[in-house]
Chains A and B, each alone.
Chain A
Amino acid sequence: MTAPFTTVMAGAAAPGQPTSPKNVPLRGGEPNPSAEALRAQFAGAIARVDVVCGETSVIVDRAQLLDIVRWLHDDAGQQYDYLSDVTAVEYRDPERPLEVVWHLRSLPYRRFLRLKVLLERGSELSVPSVWPVYKGADWLERECYDMFGIRFDGHPDLRRILMWEGYKEGHPLRKDFPVRGRFSRSEQLRQALSANPEARYSMEELSIAQAFEDLPDDMRRRLAAGGTVGE
Chain B
Amino acid sequence: MGLSRHDADRAEVVHGGDPWFATRMDFLVNWSRANSLWPMPFGTACCAIEFMASAANKYDLARFGMERMSFSPRQADVLICAGRVPFKLAPVLRRIWQQMMQPKWAISMGACASSGNGIFDNYAVVQGIDTIIPVDVYVPGCPPRPEGLIYGIMLLQKKIMAERSSDQTLRREMEPDPKSQLYLPPPVIDEMSENFGNSVHQKRSGL
Contact = CB atoms under 8 A, between A and B. Distances in A.
The answer to whether A and B touch in the complex, with CB atoms under 8 Å apart, is yes
Interface of A: 163-164, 169, 172, 177-182, 184-195, 200
B94 interface: yes
Contacts of B123: 169, 172, 177-182, 188
Contact of B189 (A182, A186, A195): A186
A200 B179 CA distance: 18
Contacts of B88: 163-164, 192
Nearest to B176: A193
Chain A, interface SS category: loop
Contact of A192 (B90, B121, B127, B186): B90
A189 B179 contact: no
B contact patch SS: loop
A218 B85 CA distance: 32
Nearest to A194: B181
23 contacts: A164-B87, A178-B207, A179-B121, A179-B207, A181-B122, A182-B123, A184-B186, A184-B190, A185-B131, A185-B190, A185-B193, A186-B131, A186-B182, A186-B189, A189-B131, A189-B189, A190-B181, A190-B186, A192-B90, A192-B91, A192-B126, A193-B91, A194-B180
Given A185-B189, A186-B187, A186-B190, A195 B91 contact: yes
A172 B88 CA distance: 14
A193 B174 CA distance: 15
B3 interface: no
Contact of A188 (B87, B94, B176): B87
B124 interface: yes
Contacts of A172: 123-124
Interface residues of B, number: 25
B117 to A, nearest CB: 14
B190 to A, nearest CB: 5
A229 B176 CA distance: 23
Nearest to B122: A179
A229 to B, nearest CB: 15
B122 A189 contact: no
B207 A189 contact: no
B85 to A, nearest CB: 10
B160 interface: no
A189 B132 contact: yes
Interface string B169-207: 000000010011110001101100100000000000011
Contacts of A193: 90-91, 94, 132, 176, 180-182
Q: Which are the 3 A-B pairs with shortest beta-carbon distances?
A: A181-B123, A186-B186, A193-B181
A80 B186 CA distance: 53
